[in-house]
Structure 1
Amino acid sequence: MFRAKLPPWLVLLLPAFIIILAVVAIPLILSLYSSFTPYHLTRPDTLWKWTGSFNYIKAASDANFWKAFGRTVLLLTIALNTEMLLGLGLALMVSKVTRGQRALRTAMMFPMMFSPILVGFQFKFIFNDNVGLVNNALQSLGLTDVAIPWLVDGNLAMFAIIFAEVWTSTSVFAILILAGLFAIPQDPLEAAKVDGCTPWQSFRFVTLPFLMPFIYIAMAIRSLDVARAYDIVQVMTNGGPARRTELLWTLIGRTGYVDARMGYANAMGYIAILMSIGFTIYFFLKLQTARRELGMGEM
């Protein structure tokens, strides 16, 4: 009797393929299918009612969806640029340290080691109206007589969320930019000194162009993180007050698990994924451009 024999490499990889199929592929296919149905968690029979692109059209005309999208882009823009500037400054300072640099590099990584949920609870306490450290410090210094409603006022609540995001992820930029600083060849810097360039001109026209590929890599990584921000916002404000800090993924979570409209939530989720891919492609193209300008060729 003929018996098919699997190649050894496939036998070794088969458990991994089975796990990926069970944990990733099947849920992904099911969620994609349910996005074309009116699936409601309390009515399982709705999973088998095909409605086509109705959920996607509904999301495209939903004002709450586009408001959440605008807040997500605002958070992404402010957080990425602030983290880049702070990370650049931190990396430049650490690169000048001659003793204890390894300890500093390790300390820089501490904020990114904390769970986003833990960071959310930490800053929820720091910005608390009554017992928060920020209000207590401001009142002790005499800068204000009343408690500032950091997490109740919509604009201040968004500032608090951005502050928490920047605190926890600036080290991503700092570590990658520091790696770029160590990789810069010394010949162009020495040539700039010989030509009489000032420190600022050397940084602007020599150092910074070499660092741009590392900055775009960090931005690509962080754009994906910020675009799917959920934990910190959910813990600190739960999207409030009055949805003033509602982001894409907090809106999707509320729609799917609170309102139980899972089909509609999955449709919004796939739209958000496509937008995240768009940001990634943008930063990847900028990375390729920066590499070509340095004569590094294609990736």
Structure 2
Amino acid sequence: MTRLKLPPWLVLLLPAILILMAVVLIPLLLSLYSSFTSYRLTRPDSITNWIGTFNYEKAAKDENFWAAFGRTVLFLTIALNLEMLFGLGLALMVSKVTKGQRLLRTVMMFPMMFSPILVGFQFKFIFNDNVGLVNNALQSLGLSSTAIPWLVDGKLALFSIAFAEIWMSTSVFGILILAGLYAIPQDPLEAAKVDGCTSWQSFRFVTLPFLMPFIYIAMAIRSLDVARAYDMVQIMTNGGPARRTELLWTLIGRTGYVDAKMGYANAMGYISIFLAIFFTVYFFKKLTSARAELGMGG
């Protein structure tokens, strides 16, 4: 009887493949299967109750789901654009510093080192109605006579969460754009200066096109993070008030673990994955286009 002999490369990769199957592939397939069932956490035997596409059809008609979907897109659009603008400004300022630049780069990375849960607790205290630093500062300066309900008013609560998200993640854009600034060849900038271009013209037509690939990479990374935002929202507002700050993954978490409707929650989760895929594909297409304009290939 001949023994099966695996190639050496497969033997080396086999432990990693088995771990990935156990940790990623099997739970992924199980969650996909359960999205076609009436699976409830309180009734484990319901995972065998096949109901076809009922959960997906229910999500398509669910006003709460589409409200959370639209709110997530709005939150993602605002957060990404402001993080990009602030990160660009931060990188440009740091690149102009001649002394202590290493220290500034290190300090710039501090916010992204904090856990989103820790940042959520931090800003929940900062925006607190009674003892929050923001309200105390505004009242001390005479800019407000009453406490502003930052985390109770629907619009202000979403703004507060966006502020915390931008504070934590602007440095991602800053670091990547700063790397792009260091990679820019000096010849085009010197040629623009010789041709009499202003600082704005040099930035608009020389520097910015070189930075666009780095910006799109940062946007692709951050779009995945923001699209699945959960922990910071859960800590700061728990989706309130009256679900006005409920994003996709807080709604999915509530449906799956509070209402125990895990099959329905998984169906909403797979629908929301398309949001992340859409933004990722979009930004990678823009990245390819930006690289092609610079003659860097597709």
Which TM class, normalised by the smaller chain length?
Answer: over 0.9
Q: What's 1:43 paired with?
A: 43
User: After superposition, what is the alpha-carbon deviation per residue over 1:224-254, rounded to whole angstroms, capped at 9, x for unaligned?
Assistant: 0000000100000000000000000000000
Q: Equivalences for 1:115-154 in 2 at 5 Å?
A: 115-154=115-154
CA distance in 1, matches of 2:40, 2:4: 45
Residue 192 of structure 1 aligns to a residue in which SS? helix
Matched, 1:78 2:67: no
Select between 128-137 and 9-18 the one with higher mean Cα deviation.
9-18
For residue 42 of structure 1, report the CA deviation from its aligned partner.
0.6
Q: Distance in 2 between matches of 1:170 and 1:35?
A: 36
Aligned mates of 2:14, 2:285 — CA distance in 1: 35
Aligned position for 1:176: 176
User: How many Å apart are 1:7 and its aligned residue?
Assistant: 2.5
CA distance in 2, matches of 1:173, 1:118: 21
The residue number in structure 1 matching 2:5 is: 5
- C-alpha displacement at 1:46, in angstroms? 1.1
Report how far residue 12 of structure 1 moved.
2.1
* Runs of 4+ with deviation above 4 angstroms: none
Return the alpha-carbon distance in structure 1 between the equivalents of residues 119 and 112 of structure 2: 10
Distance in 1 between residues matched to 2:264 and 2:218, nearest whole Å: 32
Structure 1 residues 12-23: aligned runs within 5 Å: 12-23=12-23
Instruction: Give the corresponding residue for 1:283.
Output: 283
Classify the secondary structure of the residue corresponding to 1:85. Answer: helix
Query: Counterparts of 1:1-299 in structure 2 under 5 Å?
Result: 1-298=1-298
What secondary structure does 2:229 align onto?
A: coil
TM-superposition CA deviations, 1:116-149 (whole Å, max 9, x none) = 0000000000000011110111111111111111
Partner SS, residue 197 of structure 1:
coil
- 1 CA distance for matches of 2:6 and 2:279? 41
Give the 3-state SS of the residue equivalent to 2:220 in structure 1: helix
The AA in structure 2 aligned to 1:69 is F
Aligned residues: 298
1:41-98: CA deviation from partner (whole Å, max 9, x where unpaired) = 1111210011111111111111101100111011111111100000000000000111
The alpha carbon displacement at 1:168 in A equals 0.2
Using the alignment, how far apart are the partners of 1:284 and 1:112 within structure 2?
Answer: 23
When normalised by structure 2's length, the TM-score is 0.99
Tell me which moved more, 288-297 or 222-231: 288-297
CA distance in 1, matches of 2:212, 2:155: 32
How far the C-alpha of 1:6 sits from its partner, in A, is: 2.3
Distance 1:225 1:27 in 2: 21
- Kindly state the Cα deviation for residue 110 of structure 1 after the two structures are TM-superposed: 0.4
| Equivalent AA in structure 2 for residue 215 of structure 1 | I
CA distance in structure 2 between the aligned counterparts of 1:191 and 1:106, rounded to whole angstroms: 33
Partner letter of residue 49 of structure 1?
N
Give the aligned residue type for 1:283. Answer: F
Structure 2: gaps spanning 5 or more residues: none
State the distance in 1 between where 2:100 and 2:113 align.
21
Q: Give the secondary-structure state (helix, strand or coil) at the position aligned to 2:145.
A: coil
RMSD: 0.8
CA distance in 1, matches of 2:161, 2:249: 14
Say which SS state the counterpart of residue 241 (structure 2) adopts.
Answer: coil
Matched residues in 2 for 1:44 and 1:218: separation?
41
In the alignment, structure 1 segments of 5+ residues that lack a partner are none
